[in-house]
Amino acid sequence: MTTLSPRVASPLARAASTDLGRRGRIDAIVRTLALAALWLGLLLVTYWWVADRGLQDLTGWTSGLTSVGRISGLVATVLLLAQVVLMARVPMLERAFGQDRLARVHRLVGFTSFNLMLLHVVTITWGYAGGRLLHTPAELWDLTLHSPGMLLADAGTICLFLVVLTSIKAARRRLRYESWHLLHLYAYLGVGLALPHQLWTGQQFIDSTAKTVFWWTTWALAAASVLVFRVGAPLVLNLRHRLRVTAVVDEGSDVWSVHLEGRRLDRLPVEAGQFLNWRFLGRSGWTRANPYSLSAAPNGHSLRITAQSVGDGSATLRHLVPGARVIVEGPYGRLGARARSRPRVALIGAGVGITPLRALAEGLAYGPGEVILVERFTSRPLFVGEVDDLVTRRGLQVLRLPGPRRSPDSWLGDGIGTADDLTALRHWIPDVADRDVFVCGPPAWTDLVCRTLTAAGLHPDHLHLETFAW
């Protein structure tokens, strides 16, 4: 096995990592402020609940049920509004958290808010029924018919139930990405329908000016984030750049690259390693967006994405014709130069997961020997000529790992010998713990890579991940 030796960082890499390190500190501040705002909101509504005799009411059966219903409803509402902001693709949050971390937060907040909302519905209705369980269904029916906004809230709960049900891993495996994406949009409708009855009738929402201002302001900010960043920003971006397909290239192994051009692409704020959501007009299912990473560093004149035919959306890429109009949203993701804080970098990818890493290998600032690209492939590696050119021109170091995975517990190919994953990694990249490491590939494979990197001493702050999960 060949060892890739560490070298002294070049001035170019040191300057780049220092500058981007400042951006990283800004991102860290944004993460801290965002989490602080969420916790402050939760503490504030808890304070209002306590001040409204929430704790004292817990001493009685009926009043206790109602009190639990109130606090669970308050916390659920804060989390639902936070969920809307997370879904709104706010650029500042996208840059600060990155796609994978944001997805984990999104999942945690989503399931927690839904469970608390169900607890709110059950306990508040049970309390209104005088604590008599058998009378609860009739009480719920009466509230639905006569309480302002309750019919909308029931419809919103059904929408959110569909979103949560299809977010369970077992259900997601049975759905096409396009179907899941369409159903997931019902979360906006669910939150929009579920909240008005609380803003109209909930005493914890309207019994003081401070509460009214807080809730309506929070709701308005959440709604504005959706309108601005999911509707307005993409509309402006597409009117400005007017992307069109220029060519579709067969890369082999059922992998296709789409080349695109547009107007003023030098002003498109996208970096190597990031992805956008793409809609190609004129094909079936064009209304549903598919996320594809750039597979070449943006040059101000053209863009390129590369995808494997694994679903309805990616399978139709091969049939695109030059001149086809394209609608995009983004850019998204933190798998890029912004996350870098060290001069030396390792890029580790598998299969088509090499695409954003290949763009990074082109777009990053570095000197000879400072960036290592590790590619695991089954049949043949992608972009061989382009990568070899980067080896010659930029001093990129490359390690290719052929063959299928040698076992379910290893991320290495079966053609590299018998050394365990950690030993092999430390042999190839002795200073891996002192690098920024970017990993991209299927979830099960990336989990094994991350486990090995952690065992090798890499700090989590220097591990940057993107998986092909949804």
At 230, list the tokens: 């999911």
Specify if 30 maps to a domain.
Answer: no
Considering just the CA atoms, what is the radius of gyration of the chain in Å?
Answer: 25
Domain co-membership, 122 together with 147: yes
Q: Is the dihedral of CA 171, 177, 183, 187 positive or negative?
A: positive
Q: Maximum distance among all alpha carbons in the chain?
A: 78
Domain co-membership, 279 together with 376: no
Cβ burial of 352 (10 Å; 0-12, 13-18, 19+) is buried
CB atoms within 10 A of CB 168: 10
ω into 331 cis (within 30 of 0):
yes
Q: Which residue has the tokens 């939760």?
A: 42
CATH of the domain at 253: 2.40.30.10
pTM attached to this predicted model: 0.78
CATH of the domain at 362: 3.40.50.80
Contacts of 331 (CB under 8 A, 6+ apart): 268, 269, 270, 271, 274, 275, 276
Domain co-membership, 58 together with 185: yes
Domain boundary among 281, 314, 332: 332
Q: Is the dihedral of CA 66, 67, 70, 73 positive or negative?
A: negative
At 159, list the tokens: 């929408």
Specify if 8 maps to a domain.
Answer: no
Domain boundary among 308, 332, 356: 332
Domain co-membership, 131 together with 222: yes
Q: Mapping DSSP to helix (H, G, I), strand (E, B) and coil, where does residue 167 land?
A: helix
Domain co-membership, 159 together with 304: no
Give average pLDDT by consecutive 10-residue segment, the chain, 470 residues.
48 53 79 93 93 89 91 90 86 81 81 88 87 83 72 72 66 59 64 68 68 86 90 93 93 88 92 90 76 91 88 75 92 84 92 91 92 88 91 93 84 79 92 93 89 94 75
Among 6, 16, 7, 5, which residue's Cα sits nearest to residue 342?
A: 16
List pLDDT tens digits, range 188-231.
666 766 666 766 666 566 677 888 888 888 888 988 998 999 89
Whether the CB-CB separation of 366 and 340 falls below 8 Å is answered with: no
From its phi and psi, is residue 324 left (phi > 0), alpha (psi between -120 and 50) or beta? beta
Domain co-membership, 134 together with 179: yes
Whether the CB-CB separation of 433 and 457 falls below 8 Å is answered with: yes
Domain boundary among 183, 207, 237: 237
- Confidence (pLDDT) at 413: 78
Specify if 40 maps to a domain.
Answer: no
- Confidence (pLDDT) at 20: 55
Q: Is the dihedral of CA 56, 127, 75, 220 positive or negative?
A: negative
- Confidence (pLDDT) at 175: 57
- Confidence (pLDDT) at 398: 93
Specify if 26 maps to a domain.
Answer: no
- Confidence (pLDDT) at 6: 44
Q: Which residues of 421-435 are buried (b: 16+ CB within 10 A; e: fewer)?
A: beebbbebbeebeeb
Whether the CB-CB separation of 351 and 404 falls below 8 Å is answered with: no
Domain that includes residue 299, residue range: 242-332
Domain co-membership, 347 together with 252: no
Q: Which residues of 289-313 are buried (b: 16+ CB within 10 A; e: fewer)?
A: bbbbbbbbbbeeeebbbbbbbeebb
- Give DSSP secondary structure letters for 225-270: HHIIIIIIHHHHHHHHH--EEEEEEEEETTEEEEEEE-SSGGGS--
Instruction: Please give the Cα distance from 226 to 218 (Å, whole number).
Output: 13
Question: How many domains, the chain?
Answer: 3
Whether the CB-CB separation of 347 and 396 falls below 8 Å is answered with: no
Cβ burial of 418 (10 Å; 0-12, 13-18, 19+) is exposed
| Helices and strands, counts by H and E, the chain | 19, 11
Specify if 156 maps to a domain.
Answer: yes
Domain co-membership, 349 together with 308: no
Q: Is the dihedral of CA 220, 225, 231, 235 positive or negative?
A: positive
